[in-house]
Chains A and B, each alone.
Chain A
Amino acid sequence: MKNKSLISINDFTKQEQIKILDVAEEFEKNPKQNILHDYVIASLFFEPSTRTRISFESAINRLGGKIVGFTDESTSSVKKGESLRDTIRVVSNYSDLIIMRHHNEGSARFASEVASVPVINAGDGANQHPTQTLLDLYSIRKTQGTLENLDIAFAGDLKYGRTVHSLVIALCNCNCNFHLISPVELKLPSSVKMYIKEKNLKYYQYTDINEAIPKVDILYMTRIQKERFTDPMEYEKVKSSYSLKNNMLYNSKDNLKILHPLPRVNEIDEDVDSSPKAYYFQQALNGVFVRQALISLILGLKK
């Protein structure tokens, strides 16, 4: 994995993904290791992001690394009209690794072609966000003890949610069953279902979340965005029916864990937070360990 860029979750084999999870486990036990003290990491956020950026920065800081870069395009040379090609070439000279988020799809892949150092994609438009997928896999494995043969439900916006797409694709390597809960207008795209079909795995589609809850090991909730609907009435209707409340969990499996990429708005009621089945805040913390693992493996500091 040394010197390899991570742009799309499929860039790494299942074995490589598992390796990252194993190393992340080590970091969870011992998060403060001063292995990056000689390294400079560039963090280029052409599009602002709070959670992902802070999680990366926290991972780098806990490893003793230095961060250079910008948190917003308006404070960078891009504002002066510099091309992405030039920005990346220049930053390559200043750093050992580039972490970038950009609003255009495909920007991270392009950056990895022109950069002389590896690139980690921290989100390129609606396309890919592979470190989110890794932390989701880590959270699933940690709570279930395995990634194999699980029943996984995805609820909410399955059409536009890139985290859902990448995670479904990654879990297709693990013989899982998929329970897809969404309003009709926000069903999982056929391009993603194609991966499930290719592996001859089973998927079930629901519009009623209550129907799926008793059957699954993982319930992955996502936010439904108002702008996805042409009819505001339709949104209001859907919004309330995809809001998870604690009393809806009464007949769920004991091992069920609820995940959410966050930020949540109203799709998980706060009364769920105190349930032992709520795992979304721990999931966010896992992001730090996974990013520590990924960075150290790419820089060849862990084997």
Chain B
Amino acid sequence: MKNGRTKEELVVSAIDNGTVIDHIPSKSVFQVIKILNLEKTENQFYFGTNLTSKKYGNKGIVKVRNKFFEIEEIDKISLVAPIATIITIKDFKVIKKKNVHIPDHVVKFVKCFNPNCITNHQNITTKFDVISKDKLKLKCCYCEKITTKKNMDFI
């Protein structure tokens, strides 16, 4: 475990068991926390922003103790952190490493940017088809308008 780890990364405490979400763009760390609903979790979690990354220069990280996410849950963060790595830790050891994938459909947690969309006026779960992954574009299944990364907001 200790091999290859930079001093900067140690700024954020190591966890014994749980999940590390690495390579989050620094500016998206708080969005990731929001998307994973960590604001309400009772688990211990740590985060860091503007850390040095060998690969990307600058990165953010989130570590959640005793929490192992479902794939659907974790794929959500791909919308704000498309190159994030999800690392499963057991007894301080890396058990599994995987990348996130942008899903084909996004349900529930993105807000439609169209103020006149019915989902912004009634208690309706939002639904989108992902029509472009490179330049993130979500087409609302209700109003058919396209929400882009620039005007994306989370519920």
The chain A residues found within 8 Å of chain B, CB to CB, are 8, 83-85, 102-107, 109-110, 124-128, 191
B119, B122, B124, B143: which contacts A127 (Cβ < 8 A)? B143
| B112 contacts across to A, CB distance below 8 A | 106
A106-B140 contact, Cβ under 8 Å, with A84-B118, A125-B116, A126-B116: yes
Check if A105 sits within 8 Å of B122, measured CB to CB. Answer: no
What's the A-B contact tally at a CB cutoff of 8 Å?
Answer: 53
Q: For chain B, what secondary structure do more than half of its interface residues adopt (helix, strand, loop), or is it mixed?
A: loop
Quote the shortest CB–CB distance from B140 to chain A (angstroms).
Answer: 6
**In the complex, A84 Cα to B123 Cα: how many Å?**
9
B117, B118, B119, B144: which contacts A128 (Cβ < 8 A)? B144
| 23 A-B contact pairs sorted by A residue (CB < 8 Å) | A83-B123, A84-B122, A85-B122, A103-B116, A104-B116, A104-B117, A104-B118, A105-B114, A105-B117, A105-B118, A105-B144, A106-B117, A106-B144, A107-B118, A109-B118, A109-B141, A110-B118, A110-B119, A124-B118, A126-B116, A127-B143, A127-B144, A191-B146
Check if B143 sits within 8 Å of A125, measured CB to CB. Answer: yes
The chain B residues found within 8 Å of chain A, CB to CB, are 112, 114, 116-119, 121-124, 140-146
Ranked 5 nearest A-B pairs via Cβ: A106-B142, A105-B143, A106-B143, A106-B118, A104-B118
**In the complex, A104 Cα to B116 Cα: how many Å?**
5
| B114 contacts across to A, CB distance below 8 A | 105
| B118 contacts across to A, CB distance below 8 A | 84, 102, 104-107, 109-110, 124
Quote the shortest CB–CB distance from A9 to chain B (angstroms).
Answer: 11
